Structure 1
Amino acid sequence: MDSPEPPLKIKQPPVLFNKTQAIVAKISDYLGGTFIAYWNNPKGSVCHNDVVALYEIVEKLGKRETIYMFIKSGGGHGQAALRLVSLLRQYCPNLHVLVPLECASAATMIALGANQILMGPMAYLTAVDTSLTHSLSPLDRDNDRVSVSLDELNRVLRLWREKSPTPEENPYKELYSYVHPLVIGAVDRAGSLSIMLCKELLAHHMDDEDARDRIANALNANYPSHNYPILYEEAKRLGLKVAHLPAEINALLLELNEQYSEMGQRATTDFNEIRAHSNEILNIWETKDMQIYFQEDKDWFYRTEERRWITLNDNSGWHQIEQINGKKRKTVLHIA
């Protein structure tokens, strides 16, 4: 009788604490100040749970004169960005953001709250115009809700008025057949919120109210795409307080990003064509002697009749590693 096959070993992403700590120490020494790293996997995002993770770090560090913060993120929740900056400002009067690569959307909002944004040769910010995924948003071909952009809605309405043979007709009647009216209302409300968030973040270091209004409105309405890359010269023209990132720091941050990218690789265990398990590190916070990260840890099942994957046995959560007296201690950080 054949013996049963042994169960598949669940793949795990690497946690490179020793390697990243060595780079963090070099960066801190070069800057001569307190350094915090914030990194998102492409599937990760700026979220409210990040605020709790950051609180663990700044409580450990205590109040400092200056904090240097590395950001690599594709964005996320704008209100979480406001909370993160507000928390940092309670622990330091001077905040400098280090941007070697992508600092998009809500991550750009975090950068707006800094006294100075130091940008490397490959760095870019983006527009912060509002888009959201609503429970009544349209469905895509995979049966998932799609994000609806305020700028795109406004452009559709403008094109209707300019190009329609009957511009006097109400365009909303046709638009409602594709986008639910409650979604349109929610996106419009969120657009006003985005401008308000930008103004509040800039107010941390910019006294000129007219300048705050101009920058906030430009970031919300002046660019043809939400992902339009705002490079150094454009950021300077906008009136943002930008400077060039020193080459030595840029090189070390790229090295740190490489280690985080290895940590953030997807570790998928396939059981069969409709069942799999994924482990993936999405968000990372780090400073000297401490690293906090969020790891996705869940089973996936393909529901054929709905043509989509659903999750089961979700054990995703935050993990914390501390170095105390030369020894590593790993714990689960419980964030509801």
Structure 2
Amino acid sequence: MTESATPISRTPLFIAQHSERYARQDLVRRYQDLTGANLIVMIDQIFPDNMTFLEELLHPLDSSKPLHLMLASPGGDGETAIRIARSLQARCTDLTILLPDMAKSAATILCLGADKIVFGPGGDLGPVDPQMRYPNGTLASAKELVEAVDEAEKRITANPETYPLFANLLAEVTMIMVEQARYALARSGALVKESLSAATGRTAEDVEALAEALQQPLIEEPTSHSAVIGVEAAKSFGLPAEAADPDSDEWAFIWSLWTRYFNLGAFPVGPVAIYEGDRASQIIRP
């Protein structure tokens, strides 16, 4: 029988450098003790390179428990959102997504795969409007990108002298980006169905009915990526949405966590991405 390893003690400087991380993880554990659910946090754009960070959070979880995901995101790639929804659902008995702030575009698609969506007082979803990522990392609405390029081409064809007015726009956009944006827009309805299918206990008939109810308000009607879809609207569409009780102990923990991430410069304040649970933590800075 081998002797157990001597516990490793952390140095004072190391503790000081990571004390805020430990404080956040303590809040995660206290929330878990209160609710009996696993809690993880994802604050980031949604693209394929995020999957490993998310899997790091999910890997040690007990899948016989409910899973709560605290989510804030401007959106991104809808195909990745489907992968995330399926991965989350495979690690729990039921999935609740907590919205202290915004979950737009692909993040809205991700929420459609949840068994429950809890809106904080300032939480909202948005249109299912795919986001394209420029080489410099900034995002552009696929719908707005296609419309802007089409309008620029139309005006330049009618009056070639207007080309300098659109030169900056066209210099940033490649034909590959435009075709990817068109494809993403064409896939929006299918992505909604795929995400709805990931939720626990939804029948094929449930998915078809919800997808039909969501087609107009999430895909066809919105004219702006920044359109706001609150809890009452979400409920009226048939989504499993509910308003958080801001006076509850559960929301007190979530809001305390959110303010700490906000202070780190996380979305929507800045470009810092965060993946955190009680046993894993990644703070990704540009």
CA–CA distance in 1 between the matches of 2:114 and 2:156? 40
CA–CA distance in 2 between the matches of 1:145 and 1:118? 29
Q: Which has the higher strand share?
A: 1
C-alpha deviation, 1:14, in angstroms: 6.9
CA–CA distance in 2 between the matches of 1:31 and 1:175? 63
What's the TM-score once normalised by structure 1's chain length? 0.64
Unmatched segments (≥5 aa) in structure 2: 1-16
The one-letter code matched in structure 2 to 1:31 is: T
Aligned residue number for residue 187 of structure 1: 181
SS in 1 for 2:259: helix
The one-letter code matched in structure 1 to 2:276 is: E
C-alpha deviation, 1:113, in angstroms: 0.7
Aligned residue number for residue 220 of structure 1: 219
1:125-164 deviation per Cα after TM superposition (whole angstroms, max 9, x unaligned) = 11121342467xxxxxxxx79865453367679999xxxx
Aligned residue number for residue 101 of structure 1: 101
Aligned residue number for residue 292 of structure 1: 281
Larger radius of gyration: 1
CA RMSD of aligned residues (A): 3.4
Unmatched segments (≥5 aa) in structure 1: 1-12, 136-143, 161-169, 266-279, 298-336
Aligned residue number for residue 69 of structure 1: 69
C-alpha deviation, 1:202, in angstroms: 0.6
CA–CA distance in 2 between the matches of 1:146 and 1:28? 35
Aligned residue number for residue 43 of structure 2: 39
C-alpha deviation, 1:194, in angstroms: 2.7
C-alpha contact 1:14 1:262 (8 A) present in aligned 2: no
C-alpha contact 1:104 1:127 (8 A) present in aligned 2: yes
Residue 152, structure 1, aligned to residue 151, structure 2: no
CA–CA distance in 2 between the matches of 1:97 and 1:154? 31
Aligned residue number for residue 272 of structure 2: 282
C-alpha deviation, 1:226, in angstroms: 0.6
Q: Which has the higher helix share?
A: 2
SS in 2 for 1:97: strand
Aligned residue number for residue 16 of structure 1: 20
Taking the TM superposition and a 5 Å limit, the aligned residue runs for 1:1-336 are 16-40=20-44, 45-133=45-133, 149-152=141-144, 173=157, 178=166, 179=170, 183-205=177-199, 206-207=202-203, 208=206, 209-216=208-215, 218-247=217-246, 248=248, 249-264=250-265, 282-288=272-278, 290-296=279-285
The one-letter code matched in structure 2 to 1:296 is: R
Relative to structure 1, the CA distance from residue 133 to residue 36 in structure 2 (aligned partners, 3 Å threshold; closer, same or farther) is closer
1:269-315 deviation per Cα after TM superposition (whole angstroms, max 9, x unaligned) = xxxxxxxxxxx972222222x23214336xxxxxxxxxxxxxxxxxx
Structure possessing the higher relative contact order (Cα contacts under 8 Å, 6 or more residues apart): 2
C-alpha deviation, 1:49, in angstroms: 3.0
C-alpha deviation, 1:175, in angstroms: 10
The one-letter code matched in structure 1 to 2:233 is: E
Relative to structure 1, the CA distance from residue 217 to residue 199 in structure 2 (aligned partners, 3 Å threshold; closer, same or farther) is farther
Aligned length: 251
C-alpha deviation, 1:51, in angstroms: 1.6
C-alpha contact 2:66 2:92 (8 A) present in aligned 1: yes
1:160-188 deviation per Cα after TM superposition (whole angstroms, max 9, x unaligned) = 9xxxxxxxxx7794599655665443321
